[in-house]
Structure 1
Amino acid sequence: MRDAMLGLGKAPAAPPADTLATDFTRALADFDACRYASLAVRLPRLIRAGHAHTPGGTEDDYKRLAMSYLLATRMLVKLDEQQLGWMAADRARQFAEAAGDVLAVAESARQLAVLARKAGWHGEALSIALSAADHPDLRDAGRAGAAVRGLLVQSAAYTVARRGDRDGMRELTDEAAAIAKELGGATLVRDHGGGFSPLTVQLHRISAENYAGDPLAALAAARSISLRALPSVERRSRALSDVAVTYDRLGRRSDCIRTLLAAEHCAPQETHARPATKSLISSLLVSGPTSTELRGLAVRSGVLA
């Protein structure tokens, strides 16, 4: 991915636009299904090919490259590769603006807010998310625009949670929930952050309550979610990982390990690759008695040799 973003290596011949559209659909499906080994091949190739199309390209060419960079940003954030994440998110913003794609511009702002939050720049992260949510163009973009606005408000809530402001987090999360309720029960903007619906707001609430310091509220939010109803394997795995963190904070060690194993069963490549999950596994190894199951998980995740 780094070489593709830096333009290193032999540039490919530009494939037809319809082939690129199909390749992006497959890359998004790989991400949603946590098929990261496949995505690691497909996504850099998609970005190289996208750049081959953009000199003098159409709005569709720029939009497709923006969406490819947004998908790359989501993966890089997941892997805690912040330097490349910043580059990918900024390129997504530039290509989205070139395409005149209001939704992709807003989603690139959300990803920049995520990266700012991870860097500890909470004030900047909050400003980026809320400014994008209030942009007039987004408010004029219909139901999809409202859904992306909900995702931005949700991101702002998570940033407030990181600052320990439980009341502010709940106020913003309730605002996102109200937007989702107005839009009905369907999952909208599936290719933006995993989609937006009342269910995905509840999923967000698990980690937000954890970071705001109330794991019991996080567990209550988790119990209101049907894993099967979540829109992708990636979202189900994320839910299980968040529940495992909740159990760890409540001191429920055996439930934490059981939930991590369930997450691995759901999406092994996600569980084995994500640094946050590997860190939790490492802490479990040193904080209490180990078991065959825990040690096996640690080996498969590369935590133990």
Structure 2
Amino acid sequence: MTGSPRSAGLAGEMSRGQVIRTERTRLGWSQKEFGARMSCAASTVSRWETGAADRLDLATLRRIAVVLGIAPERLGVAATVAGDQTAGARDDEEVRRRRLLTLAATAAAAAVPPAHGLRGSGSRDGGDRPGTGLAARIGDALLGTGAGLITVAPDRMRPALAAAIADYDASRFGRLEHGLPRLVHSVQMAVSAADLAAETYILTTRVLTKLGDELAWVAADRAVLSARLSGRPLLVAEAARVQAVLARRAGRFTQATDLVMAAADGEVLRGHASALVAERGLLVMSAAYTAAHAGDRAGMRELTAQADALAREAGGGVLLRDHGGGFGPGAVALHRISAEYTAGDPSAAVAAARRIAPARLPTVERQARYWVDVARAYAMWGRREETLSALLRAERAAPEETRARPAAQALVWGLLAQGRTLPGLRELAFRCGLR
């Protein structure tokens, strides 16, 4: 579902882009800073504000409203939430409540000064926000601008990669900050196996993408080249998948879909071996998420059903654990949460979440993703207490990752800018570096 360039719900005669620019400026954010909160590039924000990308999907518009701390109606989004079957019985009360929230959110947005030291997570100019050091050190390793990085001996590179993957799965960002940059530096300085380099760059792309750092594109490009040199089909497919994530975040939905579907349909992944089937499932799941971002709810659900069928074909267990948490029925179930709220149906996302036992997810990183996705769904639904509760659960599961992720920080900032302060909110904001 997409919105029209102008709508009766927009403020006065202002276009949607003017509303976004006005509210961003009022909060004191640059386009890059706002993009970090939205997990997109500054160029994407610029296209929103100039109207070059005005046909935004419903989920993106709702996320923009949450981050800016404004009522969705100001961006032309209807007040009712898809899937809320009880809204009609209390229309009058809901209208009054939303008007009050609109006034409160507008006042809060005007009153809150720019947070001290807020920059894009990967900023090379310092700052004490969680995740800044990790992104900066990886960036220095990628660009060769850092000093004092220790080179890992060739015979220790494979164990170092295994340790870095384990730290990623456990959301130990502090340990990643010491180990991963050294490994990136080492695969560039030494004549190492292409497959080791590809796996290192794929992991690096995942970390930088999670942190909203623009150098993820550099890592992804090197991952693709190294994977092709390795000749290993699973690595070529994974490199295409992380590249597609970045294309999707840049709003290039057609290219993102083409990347993963071409890989899934390629000859090298054909066959009934469980690993090949699982990799095809990961690629199809990525295409489903892109469809959700494009506002194609039917397409998202059709592709998700295909991924679910592939999970059953692969045997039902967790396969390819090193590929961002792996693939299986649990991965598809977790995917449904983010796919449904991104497609504009937070109630379906919450329903999907209730069918999952988060403690049984295979890694801490996946558990943290579960709770952040639940928080995003509740935030879109306008349920502030549940949003904060889910964020606090994410922090308990993975404190370092949750505090460093722009996605979580944007949710915290949105809660600060809207309505009354909830117990524990300001303390969480402080721990996330939003001070």
Q: TM-score, normalised by structure 1?
A: 0.94
Match of 1:53 in 2: 190
Contact 1:28/1:71 (<8 A) preserved: yes
Alignment partner for residue 197 of structure 2, among 59, 65, 68?
65
More displaced 10-residue stretch of structure 1: 261-270 or 7-16: 7-16
Aligned to 1:75: 207
- Could you tell me which amino acid in structure 2 is paired with residue 115 of structure 1? L
Q: Please give the alpha-carbon distance, in whole angstroms, between the structure 1 residues aligned to 2:151 and 2:329.
A: 43
1:13 Cα deviation after fit: 5.0
Please list, as runs of the form range in 1=range in 2, the aligned pairs for 1:86-235 lying within 5 A after superposition. 86-140=217-271, 142-235=273-366
Q: Which amino acid aligns with 1:137?
A: V
Matches of 1:246 and 1:16 in 2, distance apart? Answer: 45
Misfit runs of 4+, over 6 Å:
none
**Deviation (angstroms), 1:251:** 2.0
- Considering only aligned residues, what root-mean-square deviation do their CA atoms show, in Å? 1.4
Q: Distance in 2 between matches of 1:247 and 1:95?
A: 40
In structure 2, distance between residues paired with 1:11 and 1:249? 43
Q: 2:379 aligns with which of 241, 245, 248?
A: 248
Deviation at 1:193, TM superposition (A): 2.0
Indicate how the Cα distance of structure 1 residues 260 and 246 shifts in structure 2: closer, same or farther if over 3 A, else same: same
Unaligned runs of 5+ in 2: 1-137
Residues 171 and 38 (structure 1), Cα distance of their counterparts in 2 relative to 1, 3 Å cut: same
Q: How far, CA to CA, are the matches of 1:10 and 1:62 in structure 2?
A: 25
**In the TM superposition, what is the alpha-carbon distance from 1:51 to its structure 2 partner?**
2.3
Partner of 2:24: none
Instruction: Report if the CA contact (8 A) 1:147-1:180 is conserved.
Output: yes
Following superposition, the deviation at residue 52 of structure 1 comes to 3.1
Q: How many residues align?
A: 297
Name whichever structure is richer in helix by fraction: 1
SS of corresponding position for 1:289: coil
* Partners of 1:51 and 1:277 in 2: CA distance: 32
Q: Which has the higher contact order (CA 8 A, sep 6+)?
A: 2
List runs of 5+ in structure 1 lacking aligned partners. none
* Counterpart selection for 1:239 from 361, 370, 386: 370
Aligned amino acid, residue 377 of structure 2: T
What CA distance in whole angstroms lies between the structure 2 residues aligned with 1:251 and 1:66?
Answer: 42
Residue pair 1:138, 1:146 contacting (<8 A) in 2 also? yes
d(CA) in 2 for partners of 1:195, 1:14:
27
Percent identity between matched residues is: 48
Q: Does 1:43 align with 2:43?
A: no
Paired position in structure 1 for 2:422: 291
Is 1:259 matched up with 2:390?
yes
Separation in structure 2 between the aligned mates of residue 76 and residue 13 of structure 1, nearest angstrom:
21
- Structure 1 residues 48, 240: closer, same or farther in 2, change over 3 A? same
Secondary structure of the corresponding residue to residue 76 of structure 1:
helix
Q: How far apart are residue 12 of structure 1 and its match?
A: 5.0
- Is 1:31 aligned to 2:151, yes or no? no
Cα deviation for residue 145 of structure 1 reads 1.4
Determine the C-alpha separation between the residues in 1 that align with 2:433 and 2:144. 31
Q: State the shift of 1:11 in Å.
A: 7.3
Structure 1 window deviating more from structure 2 (188-197 vs 8-17): it is: 8-17
Deviation at 1:80, TM superposition (A): 0.9
TM superposition shift of 1:97: 1.1
Q: What do the CA deviations read for 1:183-233 (whole angstroms, capped 9, x no partner)?
A: 122110111121001011110110100011111111111011111221100
Letter in 2 for 1:168: G
Task: State the Cα distance separating 1:142 from its structure 2 match.
Answer: 2.1
Q: Contact 2:277 / 2:313 at 8 angstroms: preserved in 1?
A: no
Deviation at 1:276, TM superposition (A): 1.0
Q: What SS does the aligned partner of 1:123 have?
A: helix
How far the C-alpha of 1:158 sits from its partner, in A, is: 0.5
Indicate conservation of the 8 Å contact 1:12/1:52, yes or no: no
**Counterpart AA for 2:367:** R
Structure 1 window deviating more from structure 2 (72-81 vs 132-141): it is 132-141
User: 2:291, 2:351 → 1: CA distance?
Assistant: 20
